Structure 1
């Protein structure tokens, strides 16, 4: 079956055929995959399948608007090799390659050859110009720029690695094409631009042409990988040895300074933790540096190198592991743990901290691993397998809960997002009513203004018109926006207006700078040849009234076309978009939030905590922004106020003193230590703290605490029973070290963290209110990752914001981008009842009224029994209920109700009143 066309055809040999570009959305690999064909039974079902499920209509993912169906593997490799700077073809070869693109029936206009004498030669880049626009009748003008993987930051178009891809009016001017241009996951690539600027048909025909060309070209050209591709040369071996020796020496130095006790501690870590963090850093760097050496030393014809550069498969790390060094093996995010007493394996000395003893593999897969290295490598591999097995069940259940909670949310004709029973969850979807599948740019904005501007400048030349002054530009822009607001339903969102005005502002600044740089003042223009200079400046940075008009027309019409349609089952899409990346996450990842010792739960466990609305989370952290953030001393003072300090930490001694007259406990404070830590503690404040301690309070009925001087206190026990005196003194002395004399009791510790030039405080623990109220902390900017606590401290709106930012942070830590509108919807659903409802059987019970829906989720018998006992009714409005009852659901295409007009005919009924039939 040709997936790109909508017709299922029986082909010779194999019945189902599959274009490689379409593997990604089907998650298909060719290791024995099977497929089922479902045949729609009615015209209505056929139409829906065609319009809603046709591949052409699903080139983009609604998760974040990235293109999903695009070139992969061989297609990328051949495109990369064809567009090399030194690839030339004569007329015969070029014409043959042009005929490879189609079925030989298409009309193709050959471009002008690049080299005319002594023989006509065309470049591989010109082949791509033909591929995008085969003949002059085709009105496809592509204008965009992309930075490829091998782009070096020296200068744009003159990139020495040819990594700057520039299409102007469908001509490829520079750049070697790879994954960034042709692959999926990029919103600024070739197919994305074709789809946005033209239509799905333009994108799919181009993909088909590329698929045919690549498959045929690589078949003739040949591309294979063998053992000689991973054989390191003499120079590479020498460099690798040098890198590894450097790393080992650095580790030895660290271990030496640790043993001598003069290792510089990292914030919030003890010596052992600091040593681990430092050594791990050094060893991980070895793998990166050897990877860099490989990329530089290998021949450009090396197959793994080509695949890695163009992005078709593999990475520099894979190449490095095959050729140079496998690197550090990790178990549970740390170096290999001890399996025997004080050592990982019996082959190593006790308490050895050297790289080899803790799982560093210095060999490559080419040279082969030693027995101990192999064992550590299998430890790492086993963890990966267990992780995958556990994760599948976890994320599967999580996705199911998300779907069940969000399934009945859809967009209505008044732009609101409502549940099946009509409860409003959002007044305007995502605050702007835009469709996530149609968003552009990294941050999910409706339009990529920079690219549209480039396109308008290229397709609409300035000619003789003069460029507008900045004041004229802003006047025209504001008039256009005002007209657009009045004309179309709802106009534009404020965010879009602001982005458009800001964009024009930067363009005008560039124009003014150019003008002054070229000294284009009036006097100079009069004396020189005015036409040339004005044209130069206008063409580079200025904009004519015609260009501006075209640009604004495109912006407003495009903006309107990106609105989300009513009926869209946005809940199900949102649940999918959050659940699906969960399957790609590693289960237990701990991320160092700028501080080596401070772990933050991430990955699947963190997402689960967020959507469960967990009251207790595993790593609660409050980020306190300081009022005086440039001074480390003030940060230490605030830290002293926040961090819990016990009497045992600040007391020099606690002695039981017995004389003939009385027995007492004398506490001596370590005032030097207290001053060094900037703690405001005196004997008087300690007395108050002791009296407030719950255990001592009950024992202290008759006790008296005397303050002898600034640093000394004496505690006298009660005189009630002399026989219990010794016991009482020792009990008291055991309890005293735990008395909290400073700080917030619920805070475990606080770590000073430096971000750029600013210091802030990472507080491990709870009680956000107390941290916000601490002198020196800027309460308005203090954040916590504990959603329930944020709700109790700052209210439900803050909790909603917290849910959004926490999901976003977790996803970003794993390198995943999800449109913020999905997270907003989830956060709104969890908070729209006025409390934070987790997506669990208890939360969903409070969100949903329908008995059948709850019964289809969990505890089926209980729900049905209670409903029948209490005589509850179900209106059958939601998705689950409609499926159970076999009724069309009121969502998506079912939101429409078609009414038939009946002609009213009057018939006389034997002189009685007329009856309307």
Structure 2
């Protein structure tokens, strides 16, 4: 064995390799590599990707899909990225097992998917799947539909059954892709909003997105269905059922489908999308004048000594609170904006309404008015000199404009005082971000070094050496990446509603009386637990929505939809058998935290393990 080292760059044409030679080759398409962006604050900041070698000699930068930016908190304004290529077979296998990006698809922090459609592809998914366009029905011919799949890197669907004159709608084209990973999904899209409903005419087929066995029946695909971070969305369901690798493939395929459609159909945002009609502008001015008039009335109350602060607040603090509440834009300011635009063609509105980019406040600031500037939750304070906010206003001025209320919009332009107030807010945010970054980074570093010795042992306990930190990891023993958001249907029901919906009267058996009583006790126990949590933390209000590892209702629904008859046959005997099975299963559920041997022996279950399994038991009984 020679152990001679050779570089592929310097080898001659007639060189012959011998057994044992070590050859340094170039990176080729398909190799794996670590990709990283600093600061590496999360595990996903170092991910293993498969390399695609670019042949263009003019390209000298790393390129990656925009959907992968979420892992690294990256953008394309000059970010520095680091790349490491493992050499040996062992290191390549280890890299894929430990750091493959499929491991980071579900967030440990939010239990939802990190990746999804962003920006152009979100809008493109909406435009492709909406029922109508401004030109009429949203349809395309066979050749156009085939062209959309050219860059999806999936098996192209069969178009042999379609003639060149047949017309396909966008929902049919998307369904060809979704059939590769059949799922069932139903949810209202981001596009449909109660805020917009009074001012625009929704197509009835676009206000609820429904997918049945991979077939898009109705609705549109937007941020709630295919967007990045959409918990319970299409990619989350695909990941839960078919694995994260398949979900990532579907994200890329859907993205290419949407982008190819947008390239053909077109999408743009122009200045014309931001202009109000004269009538709408007048209506906006009337709303702003009403706010200023209400602010002036509060000023008069202050001057006459009619403001009586509650206990714990000074007159000045209560006065400022009244002013902040009075100067908030009401929801009706959207009316003149919506009356000025055509939602079917306005690019700015479509970006906001589909969740691709921006928000309602952004749209209001651009088109109607900016409103009250707040710095650290307060109006602009008179710090220019004694009793003055800016040189443009006299000492002890009370008008709202002197304390940072901006009447103009960005499209109309700002006056000099308004511009300065806006820059004051920007300066505060910039300094606050710079200072908080260092302090939070230091706290994060201390926490990491304090917890890096923690391990989860064979008893599922969290420990440091011989010291016990938690009896059960996370106090529930669950991997946060494997959780789904589900609704507990019994929690918000009254006793009568609970009896009407859940009490079984077909068989007069004490078993079903016992089961209904168990459901009622579960409901009361759930309420007691989370009302106690609410009493200690007002940000955690009682809700019937929780995250659990198994979505029982979804499993039942999938079985019913896959059944040819729709409803599985049963008789009273089988009901009793199923009741006994559920009861036994719920009883033995805490043994998943121990092992099968203890389940067979029916050894006593510790109280903390019973409590850890209590939510899941409640859900199964429902």
Q: TM-score, normalised by structure 1?
A: 0.50
1:247 lines up with 2:291 in the alignment: yes
Deviation at 1:480, TM superposition (A): 3.3
Q: What is the aligned partner in structure 2 of residue 17 from structure 1?
A: 63
Counterpart check, 1:478 vs 2:583: yes
Deviation of residue 230 (structure 1)?
1.6
SS in 1 for 2:126: helix
The answer as to whether partners of 1:88 and 1:123 remain within 8 angstroms in 2 is: yes
Q: Distance in 1 between matches of 2:390 and 2:271?
A: 33
Residue 444 of structure 1 corresponds to 547
Q: 2 CA distance for matches of 1:394 and 1:260?
A: 46
How far apart, CA to CA, are the structure 2 residues paired with 1:110 and 1:468? 45
Equivalent position of 1:200 in the other structure: 244
Aligned-pair distance for 1:386?
A: 0.8
Cα pair 1:331 1:380 within 8 Å, conserved: yes
Q: How does 1:22-101 map to 2 (within 5 A)?
A: 22-86=68-132, 87-93=137-143, 95-100=145-150
Per the alignment, in what secondary structure is the counterpart of residue 145 of structure 1? strand
What SS does the corresponding residue of 1:100 show, helix, strand or coil?
Answer: coil
Question: Which consecutive residues of structure 2, in runs of 5 or more, have no partner in the other structure?
Answer: 1-28, 36-46, 486-544, 600-604
Q: Does 2:559 match 1:456?
A: yes
* Residue equivalent to 2:167: 121
Q: What is the CA distance between 1:395 and its match in structure 2?
A: 1.1
Aligned residues of 1:344 and 1:357 also touching (Cα < 8 A): yes
What's the counterpart of residue 18 of structure 2?
none
Q: Does 1:352 align with 2:455?
A: no
Distance 1:222 1:152, change over 3 A: closer
Counterpart in the other structure of 1:406:
451
Alpha-carbon distance change, 55 to 505 in structure 1, aligned in 2, over 3 angstroms: closer
Equivalent position SS for 1:444 = strand
Question: In the aligned structure 1, how far is the partner of 2:388 from the partner of 2:567?
Answer: 80
Q: Does structure 2 retain, via aligned residues, the 8 Å contact 1:291–1:319?
A: no
Alpha-carbon distance, 1:43 to partner: 3.4
DSSP 3-state at the match of 1:366: coil
Aligned to 2:510: none
Q: Distance in 1 between matches of 2:570 and 2:363?
A: 52
Residue 374, structure 1, aligned to residue 419, structure 2: yes
Q: For residues 474-520 of structure 1, what are the alpha-carbon distances to aligned partners after superposition, in whole Å with 9 as ceiling and x for unaligned?
A: 433113334666688447964575445544665xxxxxxxxxxxxxx
TM-score by length of 2: 0.72
Q: Is the 8 A contact 1:97 1:213 kept in 2?
A: no
> Any residues of structure 2 matched to 1:760-775 within 5 Å, and which?
none
For residues 342 and 161 of structure 1, what CA distance do their matches in structure 2 show?
A: 58
Aligned mate of 1:303, from 347, 366, 372? 347
Residue 152 of structure 1 contacts residue 161 of structure 1 at CA under 8 Å; is this kept in 2? no
Question: Does the CA contact (< 8 Å) of 2:187 and 2:208 recur in 1?
Answer: yes
Match of 1:175 in 2: 219
- Distance in 1, Cα, partners of 2:479 & 2:242: 18
* Rounded Cα–Cα distance in structure 2 between residues aligned with 1:173 and 1:428: 44
Does structure 2 retain, via aligned residues, the 8 Å contact 1:290–1:325?
no
Aligned to 2:19: none
CA offsets per residue over residues 350-399 of structure 1, 9 Å max, x none? 32222101011111111111111111111111101111111111111111
Distance 1:52 1:372, change over 3 A: same
Q: Offset at 1:83?
A: 1.3
Q: Following the alignment from structure 2 to structure 1, what is the Cα–Cα distance between the partners of residues 443 and 613?
A: 38
* Aligned partner of residue 340 in structure 1, secondary structure: coil
How far did 1:97 drift? 4.6
Tell me the equivalent position of 2:511: none
Distance in 1, matches of 2:340 and 2:309, equals: 38
CA distance in 1, matches of 2:161, 2:478: 43
Q: Quick check: 1:340 aligned with 2:385? A: yes
Question: Does residue 427 of the first structure (1) align with residue 477 of the second (2)?
Answer: no
Structure-2 change in CA distance of 1:275 and 1:108 (3 Å): same
Distance in 2 (alpha carbons) for counterparts of 1:218 and 1:148: 20
How many residues are aligned here?
491
- Show the counterpart of 1:312: 356
Matches of 2:376 and 2:50, distance apart in 1: 50
Contact 1:146 1:188 in 2 (8 A): no
CA-CA distance at 1:29 after TM superposition: 1.0
Over 3 Å counting, the alpha-carbon distance change for 1:428 and 1:488 in structure 2 is closer
CA distance in 2, matches of 1:70, 1:123: 23
Q: 1:186 to 1:267 in 2, by over 3 A?
A: farther
For 1:273 and 1:464, locate their aligned partners in 2 and report how far apart those are by CA, in whole Å.
63
Match of 2:228 among 169, 184, 189: 184
Once the two structures are TM-superposed, the CA of residue 23 in structure 1 deviates from its matched residue by 1.1
CA distance in 1 between counterparts of 2:87 and 2:566 reads 58
**Change in CA separation of 1:28 and 1:328 when aligned onto 2, cut-off 3 Å:** same
| Matched-pair contact (CA < 8 Å) for 1:21–1:72 | yes
3-state SS of paired residue (1:12): coil
SS of residue matched to 1:284: coil
Inter-CA distance 242–225: structure 2 relative to 1 (3 Å threshold): same
Partner of 1:290: 333
Residues 843-893 of structure 1, C-alpha deviations (whole Å, 9 max, x = no match): xxxxxxxxxxxxxxxxxxxxxxxxxxxxxxxxxxxxxxxxxxxxxxxxxxx
Secondary structure of residue in 2 paired with 1:396: helix
Q: Which runs of 5+ in 1 are unaligned?
A: 507-917
Give the match for residue 268 of structure 1.
312
Report the equivalent of 2:189. Answer: 148
Q: Is the 8 A contact 1:322 1:366 kept in 2?
A: yes
Whether the 8 Å CA contact 2:209–2:221 is kept in 1: the answer is yes
Paired with 1:443 and 1:365, the residues of 2 have a C-alpha distance of 41
Q: Deviations over 1:277-321 (max 9, x none)?
A: 1111121235x5435642454221111111111111111111111
Determine the C-alpha separation between the residues in 2 that align with 1:464 and 1:311.
37
| Aligned residues: CA RMSD | 3.0
Q: Decide whether the 8 Å contact of 1:151 with 1:159 is kept in 2.
A: no
* Cα distance in 1 between the residues matched to 2:227 and 2:476: 29
**Equivalent residues in 2 for 1:461-540 (5 A)?**
461-462=564-565, 465-467=568-570, 473-482=578-587, 489-490=594-595, 494=610, 498-500=614-616, 502-503=618-619, 506=622
Task: Tell me if structure 2 keeps the 8 A contact 1:6–1:54.
Answer: yes
* Shift in alpha-carbon separation, 1:111–1:281, aligned structure 2, 3 A: farther
Of the three residues 147, 155, 160, the one matched with 1:106 is 155
Asked if residue 166 in structure 1 is aligned to residue 210 in structure 2, the reply is yes
Summarize the Cα distance change of 1:291–1:45 in structure 2 as closer, same or farther, 3 Å threshold: farther
Q: Quick one: distance in 2 between partners of 1:497 and 1:121?
A: 53
Q: How does 1:124-135 map to 2 (within 5 A)?
A: 124-133=170-179
